[in-house]
Amino acid sequence: MDAITAEGLVKIYRTRKNEVRALDGIDLTVGEGTVLGLLGPNGAGKTTTVRILATLLKPDAGRATVAGFDVVRQAQQLRSVIGLSGQYAAVDENLTGRENLWMFGRLYQLSSADAKQRAGELLEQFDLSDAADRVVKTYSGGMRRRLDLGSALIGRPKLMFLDEPTTGLDPRSRLGMWEVIRGLVRDGATLLLTTQYLEEADELADTIAVVDRGKIIARGTSDELKSQVGGERIEVVVRRKEDISRAGEILARQDSTNPQVHSEEHTRRLSIATNGGANRLMQLMRDLAEAEIEIDDIGLHRPTLDDVFLSLTGHVADGPKPDAEAVSHAAAAARSEKPA
Amino acid sequence: MTSQAASRPNAGGGLAQALRDGYILMWRNLKRIPRIPELAIFAVLQSIMFVLLFAFVFGGAIPIAGGNYREYLMPGIFAQTIIFASATVSVGMAADMSQGIIDRFRSLPMARSAVLTGRTMAEVVYQGGILIVLMLSGLAVGWGVHTGIVEFLAGVALLLLFAFAMAWVGVWLGLSVPTVEVAQQVGFTVLFPITFISNVFVPVQTLPDFLRPVAEWNPTSTLTAATRLLWGNPTAADPRLPAATGFPAEQPILLTLIWVVVILAIFVPLAVRKYRSVSR
């Protein structure tokens, strides 16, 4: 059974001057026990989708069910099986971590004793035991985010909505958050996760739906999407123009399935799609060395959100650039290089 | 996340749940008072400043029958403090709305009314505490209650009832303004005239004719007159001035109760409707 279904969700925000179609017919399904990543830039409609599914907003058209409950007509029943964690830590700054969790537990209709016990468990689980009795005002951004996620888990929801759980976190806190979310997935949670980072969706989601301008423009597993985008590419910059054609032959031998070599004369750059990753790169470096072709740069280029958008929509994502490493250089002395 | 039994929230709903959830939110709102003590301290200091200003600066110039201006002033200060409570509520409500925590509340299987009732009930408790401090400072400057314990408690109950009604005005205001700063501005712009065009500091007979009916029917005046009456504090102006007559002067307690009912009848539905429509 599908844990989440949505058909033709439309949401229009009206201002004095104009109206914005925040959602323009969103369809999606999330199977029980699976993780759907909603990937898109700022303003694509990710948060609006989550807010509708979590009963915070009413759709202007379309219908959706969560755990079998209609998001409009059965909102109250629906709320007792979901947990929501947003991009702004929704906790009370003037209460301690423990007090926040107890309060949310009580409001989730747990008994006082249950709420207390559950608060203790979650503080332990999210590594907040030492700070449990400190006012949240004194917490770091990462700690607040963990407390927020803990608050969403207080009633052991069957279904979780995580709206950009790592936006604004430093890399270490982000990795910590991923670990926590993976733990939820291991325990069998059904998750709808929104993110601006392809890497994050890749790490955490079973299936990914790409959202742009209120519509889902692509969906599939991470591998399916990447192959749509072209997947990983090996890029080589040779030192001498004369070597371009010879290098091209060597590159074409690398991947028999797709021997399409892309080369540019003036930049002396060649590239080819690959699914062999680092091993293929190593092989290529040895082959080039054997053929005595000198290279300026060589690297594995992974598709980024920008690449996904470029190939799916023809325009670059409007949001901030993903800060995930876009190009991993194999050559030690490589000059820094921006992805296309 | 696997344990199904523990994940079943208690059934229930209805009034019992509304009261329980309202109580939890009241607890939450009261918890923050000792965490931001400056708020309460300045609320009390502001009222004490009014006592000192009027008792010692203007007191000599304002004629009161039966002499003691400070006896006359204190019930007015209590009423003024209670009326101003709506400003702190509106600021608190606007602050809540500007933060993500309201989204969390709205995503929980809790009574929708609890956010509002929790806020207003907490305000009554909070104002009760402030009233105690103010009464002690009143005693220090020569104010006292000259009737029995029943009348004393009736006066306190009337003040707190009024605080509850004004808190609902504050909730509605807090939900209606775009930012916390606007809530602050609106509160003070509206509340200063309401508390000054009244019998709090001067007898209404001293006011120009066109203002006098406004001052007489002003809920601040009726609340002040009611507590003066209940506690045996001077109610009359200087005998040289014409005596106050009419319904407000004769039935201040009844009129105050009517005001409480009217304010609640208007602002509870307005606030609830506003809260429901927020970002939907």
User: Quick check: B24 contacting A, CB < 8 Å?
Assistant: yes
Mean pLDDT for the stretch of residues B253-260? 93
Domain hosting A21: range is 2-226
Contact B99, B150 (CB under 8 A): no
Interacting residues of A60 by C-beta distance below 8 A, sequence separation 6+: A10, A11, A12
Residue B195 lies in a domain: yes
Of A77, A135, A157, the CB nearest to B35: A135
Q: Are residues A109 and A213 in the same domain?
A: yes
Judged against a pLDDT cut of 50, whether residue B52 lies above it is answered with yes
User: Quick check: B103 contacting A, CB < 8 Å?
Assistant: yes
Interacting residues of B135 by C-beta distance below 8 A, sequence separation 6+: B78
Two tokens, residue A48: 């609006």
Two tokens, residue A51: 């807010």
Contact A24, A214 (CB under 8 A): yes
Would you call A107 and B7 a contact, using CB atoms and an 8 Å cutoff? no
Would you call B9 and A80 a contact, using CB atoms and an 8 Å cutoff? yes
Q: Are residues A90 and A138 in the same domain?
A: yes
Identify the segments of chain A with pLDDT beneath 70.
89, 229-231, 254-259, 304-306, 309-310, 313-340
Contact B126, B167 (CB under 8 A): no
Would you call B104 and A90 a contact, using CB atoms and an 8 Å cutoff? yes
Would you call A91 and B101 a contact, using CB atoms and an 8 Å cutoff? yes
The CATH number of the domain holding residue A174 is 3.40.50.300
pLDDT of residue B6: 37
Q: How many domains, in total, are found in chain B? A: 1
Residue A175 lies in a domain: yes
Q: Are residues A87 and A180 in the same domain?
A: yes
| Preferred mutation among A34, A85, A91, A106 to probe B, highest tally of B CBs within 10 A | A106
Q: Are residues A71 and A187 in the same domain?
A: yes
Residue A184 lies in a domain: yes
Of A58, A86, A108, the CB nearest to B108: A108
Q: Are residues A22 and A120 in the same domain?
A: yes
Model confidence pLDDT, tens digit, residues B124-182: 999 999 999 999 988 988 888 999 999 999 999 999 999 999 999 999 999 998 888 88
Of A56, A94, A108, the CB nearest to B106: A56
Q: Are residues A138 and A165 in the same domain?
A: yes
Two tokens, residue A24: 């323009």
Mean pLDDT for the stretch of residues B38-66? 79
Q: Are residues A212 and A234 in the same domain?
A: no
- A135 secondary structure, DSSP code: B
Residue A340 lies in a domain: no
Model confidence pLDDT, tens digit, residues B176-218: 988 888 888 888 788 888 888 888 888 887 788 888 888 888 9
User: Quick check: A52 contacting B, CB < 8 Å?
Assistant: no
Residue B243 lies in a domain: yes
Domain hosting B131: range is 15-277
User: Quick check: A159 contacting B, CB < 8 Å?
Assistant: no
- Strands of A207-212's sheet, edge to edge? A82-85, A159-163, A190-195, A35-39, A207-212, A215-220
Chain A nearest C-alpha distance from B125 (Å): 18
The CATH number of the domain holding residue A262 is 3.30.70
pLDDT of residue A108: 94
Q: How many domains, in total, are found in chain A? A: 2
Q: What is the distance, to the nearest Å, from the Cα of residue B279 to the centroid of all Cα atoms in its chain?
A: 28
Cross-strand partners of B245: none
Residue A70 Ramachandran class (φ > 0 left, ψ -120 to 50 alpha, else beta): beta
Chain B CB contacts of A92 under 8 Å are 28, 32, 101
Q: Are residues A100 and A198 in the same domain?
A: yes
Residue A338 lies in a domain: no
Q: Are residues A129 and A46 in the same domain?
A: yes
Q: Are residues A183 and A301 in the same domain?
A: no
Residue B246 lies in a domain: yes
CA distances from B190 to A143, B182, B186, B195 (A): 41, 12, 6, 9
Mean pLDDT for the stretch of residues B65-94? 86
Mean pLDDT for the stretch of residues B32-38? 88
Residue of A nearest to B7 (CA): A156
Contact B73, B59 (CB under 8 A): yes
User: Quick check: B277 contacting A, CB < 8 Å?
Assistant: no
Judged against a pLDDT cut of 70, whether residue B32 lies above it is answered with yes
The one-letter amino acid at A156 = R
Q: Are residues A93 and A237 in the same domain?
A: no
Of B13, B31, B107, the CB nearest to A99: B31
Beta strands in chain B (DSSP E): none
Residue B1 lies in a domain: no
Would you call A156 and B109 a contact, using CB atoms and an 8 Å cutoff? no
- ipTM here: 0.84
Return residues 105-144 of B near A (CB < 8 Å). 105-110, 114
Of A58, A103, A156, the CB nearest to B28: A103
Helix or strand holding residue B165 (H, E): helix B149-176
User: Quick check: A158 contacting B, CB < 8 Å?
Assistant: yes
User: Quick check: A84 contacting B, CB < 8 Å?
Assistant: yes
- Strands of A2-14's sheet, edge to edge? A19-31, A2-14, A61-66, A69-70
Judged against a pLDDT cut of 50, whether residue B108 lies above it is answered with yes
Residue B197 lies in a domain: yes
Would you call A56 and B2 a contact, using CB atoms and an 8 Å cutoff? no
The single residue listed with the structure tokens 């014409």 is B242
Please state, in angstroms and rounded to a whole number, the distance separating the CA atoms of residues A30 and A39.
Answer: 14
Please state, in angstroms and rounded to a whole number, the distance separating the CA atoms of residues B268 and B274.
Answer: 10
Q: Are residues A238 and A202 in the same domain?
A: no
User: Quick check: B12 contacting A, CB < 8 Å?
Assistant: yes
Residue B97 lies in a domain: yes
pLDDT of residue A314: 62
User: Quick check: A156 contacting B, CB < 8 Å?
Assistant: yes
Contact A107, B108 (CB under 8 A): yes
Chain A CB contacts of B109 under 8 Å are 76-77, 79-80, 107-109
Calculate ∠ Cα B101-B106-B108, nearest 5°.
100
Would you call A188 and B6 a contact, using CB atoms and an 8 Å cutoff? no
pLDDT of residue A31: 92
Residue B10 lies in a domain: no
Q: What is the 3-state secondary structure (H, E, C) of A224-265?
A: HHHHHHCCEEEEEEECCHHHHHHHHHHHHHHCCCCCCCEEEC
Give me the DSSP letters along A54-103: TTSS--SEEEEEETTEETTTTHHHHHTTEEEE-SS--S-TTSBHHHHHHH
Chain A nearest C-alpha distance from B9 (Å): 5
Would you call B31 and A89 a contact, using CB atoms and an 8 Å cutoff? no
Residue B3 lies in a domain: no
Two tokens, residue A28: 């999606």
